[in-house]
């Protein structure tokens, strides 16, 4: 591709706890200069916990952006840019579900919103779960529920599960293991 884009400036507009919001000034291939929004994200990890009976553990939690509860796979942000995503996935598994596993396998990597954000989520499967206890943050209220892959696929197709990481993870897991 002979088209060239050149970032002329990136101005931090807002520094948040989870994301940073920038205004980018970019020269596009025809020479015009445009401003684009960019959201910088530190990255995340997620996990598909698989019980011995084959059911997947899901977390139900309130999401402020949607003003409702959602059903998702356990996930969370990296503690820092150098934290291995496998470590983050293991941490989030135990924190959110009260289970741990020494058997995490990378399933898929997704980019959630490529038009304006660099968020990258590495998703793992976790098998041979060992019961521990949840370690929720003071602002987390998470309910753990178990579903068959058929139940989850049906919920996706009915629009009851819309979270992109969860949809991608469940469909990929189904294709790879079922």
Q: Which residues are catalytic?
A: 138
Torsion of CA 77, 83, 88, 89, to 10 degrees: 110
- Are 69 and 161 in contact by the 8 Å Cβ rule? The answer is no
Integer Cα distance of 119 and 96 in angstroms: 21
Integer Cα distance of 39 and 172 in angstroms: 27
């Amino acid at each position: 591709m002979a088209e060239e884009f050149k970032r002329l400036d990136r101005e931090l507009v807002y520094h948040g706890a989870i994301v940073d919001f920038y205004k980018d000034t970019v020269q596009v291939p025809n020479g015009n200069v445009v401003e684009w929004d960019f959201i910088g994200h530190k990255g995340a990890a997620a996990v598909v916990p698989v019980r011995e009976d084959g059911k997947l553990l899901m977390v139900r939690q309130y999401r402020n952006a949607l003003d409702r509860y959602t059903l998702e796979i356990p996930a969370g942000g990296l503690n820092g840019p150098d934290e291995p995503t496998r470590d983050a996935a293991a941490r989030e598994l135990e924190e959110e579900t009260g289970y741990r596993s020494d058997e995490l396998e990378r399933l898929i990597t997704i980019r959630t919103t490529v038009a304006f954000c660099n968020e990258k989520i590495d998703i793992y499967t976790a098998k041979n779960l060992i019961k521990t206890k949840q370690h929720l943050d003071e602002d987390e209220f998470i309910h753990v529920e178990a579903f068959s892959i058929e139940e989850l696929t049906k919920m996706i197709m009915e629009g009851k599960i819309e979270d992109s990481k969860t949809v991608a993870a469940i469909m990929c897991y189904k294709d790879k293991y079922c």
